[in-house]
Structures are given as structure tokens and as C-alpha cells.
A and B are shown apart, each in its own frame.
Chain A
Amino acid sequence: MSKLLQPKPLAITIGTLALLVIAILFVRVPLPTILLPAEVIPGLAIGGFKITNTFIATILADIIVLLFGFLAVRKMQEVPESKLQNIFEWVVEIFDGMLTDIGGKEKARAWLAVFMTILLFLLFANWLELVPGVDSIGYIEPLEVAYAEKGVGVGYEIQHIGPFITLTNEQVTLTDEEKHEIEKEFHEAEAAGEKYHPHDPKGYVLTPYVRAAATDLNLTIGLALLVVFWSHIIGFRRLGPKYARRFALPVITGMKPIDLFVGILEFISEFAKIISLSFRLFGNIFAGQVLLFVMAFLVAFLLPLPFMGLELFVGFMQAFVFAILTFIYFEQATHSHAGDEHH
């Protein structure tokens, strides 16, 4: 306590508190629009394929991973001089050791590449939500259009700062009458084959160009499906038709009745795998994003900092869990049923 009363720590403490009070009283940021589905970016479609903001984040994460990987192995040396190669070797060695502990050397070597790919991709994809500009730079559209297309009910007023347009913290909400009016006008415009434009927009909403990739269920379910199907393919390739025995398919003779029930349970658990893998990642990252939004909305400075640290940890943890579960599923798929391989 006495250390806190010395001039320098005291000044820092008082300054921090003063900054907090100023932030609470004067600096307010608008709460971003929280939407479950990814938002389509207008005017960027390739053919009939609509590009969403989470898709852009996926591509960005891919580029970052490829860039780091390329830079790390550009000038490979037996005794690395480049720091990046050193870091990469260190990381790969840690996880190689971890996978060897779980599945043995042969399996660890076989699937280390898959493991590291999923880990690094998800790591950068999850950490992208902490980069300034993500979720905050985007296009601004009238609240009426956002309500008609996506059901957004809260918008903000805008201001011009030089060539840029920003939202202010003046909140605008639609009344029930206005909502009915908008719906009517929207349907009329649709029936006439025109694009709906409100005459005098009441407020505006911002749709970001980039939004963390894992906040889109399409990505997480896609990855989970890939991983689970891949594990079945690996099982068939390593065990042959014996692999089907765990699902009690009547291909194999000599089955005990109990195998049927075990098989049904195994069959259900395959679907549970897909659901739990995808929703764990999605839920954590989506909830983290909402948490960061709300904290920045409550107090603009300092308060979001510890939560950003938490998100750094959660982002790594979820990437790691997804990757390690992938490896565990692969490993389980190559275990022969009832241990009859150990003779």
C-alpha cells in the first residue's frame, strides 16, 4: 500500500481513474449491429456467388498464414539464423511432442500437417477480431433498408469528418408504425422490380467489410464436416472393411447383439461430434465478439483491455481445441473395435 502513495504510481493511478471518468462521461462509441448471419457486401459478387464479410476474413486469415509460412521457409537453414524459422520450428516441435504423447510417433508424423494447418488458420482467423478496423470499417446504409432486409431495428445518426462518414452515438429506433410503413414500401418496390430507397432516412447502420471468420456458422460447420468425414476415410483406409464393424453394419458376420446397440450409439456420436465441434468454435468467438462490442460501448477506454487479453487466450484455446480434437478423432478412427488388433 505504501508503494501506491509514492508520487509516480499515485499519478498513474489518478490519471487512469480520470481517463475512465472522462471515458464514461464524454466518449461514447455506438454499439455495432449484432447479426447472426454474415452480411453480404453489395457490389462484390462473383457471378452468382455473394461475398460476405466473414468470407473476406477467411481469405485474409489464409493469406496471413501463407505469408508467415512462406517467409519462414524462404531461406531454410540447418541451423536457422532467421528468427521466424526459429519460432516456427519451436512451435512445430512443441506440438509434435504433444501429438506423439497422444498417438505415438507414426500417427503424429502422419497428421501433424493437418493439425498445424487447422491450428494456425483458426488462430489467425480468431485473432483477426482484435485487429483495429475489423468490425468498425464498413459501408453505411439507411436504417430503413437494413430493417427491411435484415430486421435491424436500431440505427445511429451520421456525421461527416473530411472525406469519411462516421456514426455518432445518437441512437435512432424505429416505431411500430414506421416498421409497417417500411415493410409496405419495401414490398411495393420489390413487386415493381426496383431497389428500395427510403426518401428521408431516419438513421444509418454500419456493416463491416471484415468480420471474424468463426462468427459465421458456415465456416465452423464446414470445417467440422470436413474433419469428421476425413476421419472416416482414414478409418476405412487403415482398417479396411473392419472399420464398418463399429457402426454394426451387417457386412461383417459374427456380431454379438450388444454390438448393435454400441453401433447405434457410435452412429449418433458421429453427429454429436459435428455439432459440438462447430458450435463450440462458433459460440466462443461470437460471444467474444459481442463481449468486446458491449465493453467498448460501456466504457470506451481501458475497460475493454482485459477482455481483449481474454479474447487472445480464448482465440488460441479454441483453435488448439479444434485442432487437437481433429487429431483425437483421426486417432480414434484407426483403433480397431474391441481391441482385436493386439493379438
Chain B
Amino acid sequence: MIEILSPGLAIGLGAIGPGIGIGLLVMGALQAMGRNPEVAGEIRTNMILGIVFAESIAIYALVVALLLLFVGAPGLK
């Protein structure tokens, strides 16, 4: 049971923070684009870079989940 639950929990809990972070990031970027449409291209590039960085935290959780799923942790079974 715990072998199935732990990867799910790892990615599920780990995705909460980046999800909120990406939401905030895009909100800020869209507001800035709305106020200042001339620099929309530049803001979009930086927004995508920021999203990738926020997303990489979720990727760490994903890697832990994948490791738990395929390799397993010592003492888990």
C-alpha cells in the first residue's frame, strides 16, 4: 500500500507550490502586458523562463516520485 501511496503523495504535494507559483507569475506578467503592451514580447520571454524555473521544483518532486516508483526507497518494502 505504502509503495503505491508514496510516489503519488510525492508528486501530488510537490505540485502544489509550483502550481500556485506559476499562477502568480502568469498573473503578474499578464497585468504587466496589459498595462504596457509595447514590451509584451520581452515580458513573455521572461515569463516563460520564470515558469520553467517554478516548474523545475515540480520536476524534482516528479523525479522523487519516479525513483520511488521504479527504484524504491530502502526500507519501503
Q: Which residues of A are interface residues toward B (Cβ below 8 A)?
A: 34-36, 276, 279-280, 282-284, 286-287, 317-318, 321, 324
Q: Which of B49, B63, B67 contacts A321 (CB 8 A)?
A: B49
Asked if B66 and A317 make an inter-chain contact with CB atoms under 8 angstroms apart, the answer reads no
B residues lining the A interface (CB < 8 Å): 48-49, 52, 55-56, 59-60, 62-63, 66-67, 70-71
CB-based nearest B residue for A35: B70
- Report which of B48, B59, B71 forms a contact with A284, defined as CB distance below 8 A: B59
Q: Is A36 touching B71 in the complex (CB atoms < 8 A)?
A: yes
Q: For A287, list chain B residues within 8 Å (CB).
A: 59, 62, 66
Chain A: CB-nearest residue to B67: A36
A-B contact count (CB 8 A): 34
Contacts A36-B71, A317-B48 given; indicate if A276 touches B66 (C-beta within 8 A). Answer: no
Given contacts A36-B71, A276-B56, contact A286 B66 (CB under 8 A): yes
In angstroms, Cα B49 to Cα A276, docked, is: 14
6 contacts between A and B (CB under 8 A): A276-B60, A280-B59, A283-B56, A283-B66, A287-B59, A321-B49
A36–B52 CB distance below 8 A: no
CA distance A324 to B50 in the complex (A): 13
- 3 shortest interchain CB distances as A-B pairs: A283-B59, A280-B56, A36-B70
State the CA gap A280–B51 with chains docked (Å): 12
Complex CA distance for A6 and B59, rounded to whole angstroms:
45
